[in-house]
Structure 1
């Protein structure tokens, strides 16, 4: 198996943490990639018309994207330990995955606005709206620490990757200070060996 890889992509990290949890990480070859919203990487586009990472190639040559599809594939390959098969627990895990992905979407869009768009064209209100979406999401998690008391699943994994990315790119948000119940509840998730891993080419 192969994955187009960027060490700072939270979506690639989500896939690799999933693979580590399932004992599959050593079976995945990391392929160099330079995904960018403007200067697109032709090697990625050749396999994924969206030109995004993660792009994943199975052992039989099937190409998968995005992170949700890749993680579900890995979970199936690893006998389904990270996603409940049915019932309310499944929908809760998938909803938390959507919340984590939404935090990441907002964080990345704000970062692109501030770092990719020419300064004269930047829209501060857009950035403020995305940062507010991050805060309201963190506030929701802060109000529901019981979500982290469940068996570890793909939703909690995604939230963990989102918090990792906020530490990496938005330390000024000081989410641990501003959302102490979330900080306490998520500590065990962030301390998992899979979350502590780093990968490089």
Structure 2
């Protein structure tokens, strides 16, 4: 099967609905740069809270990232990264078969799950009044973060090899640094060293840093 990255954007480019601060959108932006597809993608901002934003028509869940390409509308980041990898010929970011493929996808999913838990902690403080905040809920999410970071520190992906697992882990750790739902660097210092190594090895990580 042949995959193409052409879409309804300017000059036939695909359209990526995201924001610079989304860790999941950043995954797509890094992958596109690594695969040298970024010049074929037009980024358009999305506001998940704006009822008039047509993101809700593009993705019924109203979530980003969302990619419009070659007549397809794709979400979430895991689907989009697999599509970009296929467009680039396959096997660039995701192993094509065997145990390596499923190990890579599992590590990526674990990192995404930690990012999701951190995001829910941030939202708990953002969308609830202080007297409505649930400590039980926050502890539940904090437990997911801690267990996930334990597992990732014990068996991280190779920081010198960019694939969906290393991209997902790097974007998750960067998000935890930025939003600070948990203080992770002292307890999981090995992951801090891992992130430094990945940043040194992958230019696309530095090129997509959030401007604070």
If the length of structure 1 is used for normalisation, what is the TM-score? 0.89
**3-state secondary structure, aligned to 2:186:** helix
Cα distance in 2 between the residues matched to 1:79 and 1:41? 37
Deviations 1:15-53 (A, max 9, x none): 1111111011121101121113xx545310121111111
Which residue matches 1:130?
Answer: 141
Give 1:129 shift: 1.6
Q: Give the Cα–Cα distance (whole angstroms) in 2 for the partners of residues 19 and 32 of structure 1.
A: 17
Higher share of residues assigned helix: 1
**Residue aligning to 1:62:** 72
RMSD after superposition = 2.0
Cα distance in 2 between the residues matched to 1:98 and 1:172: 19
1:115, distance to aligned residue in structure 2 (A): 0.7
Structure 1 unaligned regions, length at least 5: none
Cross-structure match for 1:113: 124
1:179 positional shift = 1.4
User: Contact (CA 8 Å) 1:12, 1:67: kept in 2 or not?
Assistant: yes
Describe the shift of the 1:119–1:171 C-alpha distance in structure 2 as closer, same or farther (beyond 3 A). Answer: closer
Q: Where does 1:71-150 land on structure 2 (aligned, <5 Å)?
A: 71-80=81-90, 81-145=92-156, 147-148=157-158
Question: Cα distance, 1:150 vs. partner?
Answer: 7.2
- Between Structure 1 and Structure 2, how many residues are aligned? 195
Deviations 1:117-167 (A, max 9, x none): 23332211111221221122112222225x326743111110111011011
